[in-house]
Copies of this chain bind each other. A is one copy, B any other.
């Protein structure tokens, strides 16, 4: 059985064979004065022949280099985790119907310790058994759409997700929950915010920072909060449901166009930028935080605009940026560029000729700020006014990630430059905050 050593080769394979250890076994690795214990997991096809990868009891994986002093001992046999679902809770047909669409990511997965593979676990009965509380909140209609790490999700997946949400709404869902990896969750939430207009019910994207097999997992609490909001929240917008703080007490709902992943590992990684979350849920009670929002209204007719155009670039300005970066997008026929400028919306004047050329060829060049917080104002300094005069479109307090997604979406609606600029600067899904909302320091 070649699969037992999946990915191991050369030296690493030799020492494993010698120890009679195979994938899924518990092994003990000693080297000089160090010792490691864990489950032997498969290696990547790109891997070298010098490391062995084990899953530690903490849930983390680690790679250990084999040296001449390394000793490996099999101390336990891998057992495929048996999963016996508890008896299904009694269905309550009077509960609201909530659709859960899974795209992959930590929240939608169970790790198979034996093979190391991440498997989607999202049949309705799987969900009820992993998170039995859900059966008290809603009748779940579960659908596995993709099984992707979220960094692999692209515009075609946004289109398919939007279309699938529309289907479930048409079928009478009281709300839709989308399980999604956190890495690009905010890009997808922005995409759906533009693609799904005139929503009648909430669309809640939810992720988790720790998989369900880890003690500190946030998967269940986030999912419960998301399903609760999908079934009963008074708003009908696209939002992200995640922890408010590092405690499990409160789940907040960030507007799909205003959220950002701001920490690599914390559970409260998402932040609403330049605004507050739209709502929160604490002790099962939903409280609205935004003054204005689109209300749930079952008879409102959804407008689905699921097309995106990838010929849009994101250029983060930095000292020494070579204008040839901008020129190469002109040559390649891109339709637009989001400039992530500095401060109030600036780039070095050595980029001006390239920007002018891009605009002259009919591209949309729009400005956001790499500061993240605050609002650009290109009227304050000479060079900002120069850029405005050239035809650069200022994007107020819009996040650069949202701006990129919006411009991809805009070119899914029109290929005309002027019309594209008109749609880009129109407030479609609260991507622009009103000035008064900002607690600016003046």
Q: How far is the CB of A329 from chain B (nearest CB, A)?
A: 8
- Cα–Cα, bound, A310→B319 (Å): 9
Closest to A324 in B: B332
Indicate whether A149 reaches chain B with its CB closer than 8 angstroms.
yes
- Cα–Cα, bound, A80→B267 (Å): 57
Q: How far is the CB of A89 from chain B (nearest CB, A)?
A: 32
Given A46-B389, A63-B385, A381-B149, A183-B266 contact (CB < 8 Å): no
- Cα–Cα, bound, A342→B149 (Å): 11
Indicate whether A83 reaches chain B with its CB closer than 8 angstroms.
no
Binary contact track A308-329/B, C-beta < 8 Å → 1, others 0:
1010111011111110110010
Would you call A151 and B346 a contact (CB within 8 A)? yes
Would you call B371 and A262 a contact (CB within 8 A)? yes
Q: How far is the CB of A353 from chain B (nearest CB, A)?
A: 11
Would you call B441 and A347 a contact (CB within 8 A)? no
Closest to A338 in B: B318
Would you call B385 and A441 a contact (CB within 8 A)? no
Indicate whether A62 reaches chain B with its CB closer than 8 angstroms.
yes
Would you call A441 and B374 a contact (CB within 8 A)? no
Indicate whether A187 reaches chain B with its CB closer than 8 angstroms.
yes
Closest to A334 in B: B322
Would you call B152 and A348 a contact (CB within 8 A)? yes
CB-defined contacts of A261 to chain B, threshold 8 Å: 342-343, 370-371
Closest to A356 in B: B46
Binary contact track A34-61/B, C-beta < 8 Å → 1, others 0:
0000000001111110000100000011
Closest to A45 in B: B386
Given A63-B379, A442-B216, A320-B155 contact (CB < 8 Å): yes
- Which has the most chain B C-beta neighbours within 10 Å: A149, A151, A314, A374? A151
Would you call B316 and A310 a contact (CB within 8 A)? no
CB-defined contacts of A48 to chain B, threshold 8 Å: 389
19 contacts between A and B (CB under 8 A): A48-B389, A53-B379, A118-B382, A149-B382, A152-B383, A153-B319, A153-B348, A154-B348, A155-B319, A261-B371, A262-B371, A264-B343, A265-B344, A265-B377, A265-B442, A308-B320, A310-B320, A310-B322, A316-B316
Residues of chain A having any CB pair with chain B under 8 Å: 43-48, 53, 60-63, 118, 149-155, 158, 181-184, 187-188, 216, 246, 261-269, 308, 310, 312-314, 316-322, 324-325, 328, 332, 340-350, 369-377, 379-383, 385-386, 388-390, 401, 404-405, 408, 440-442
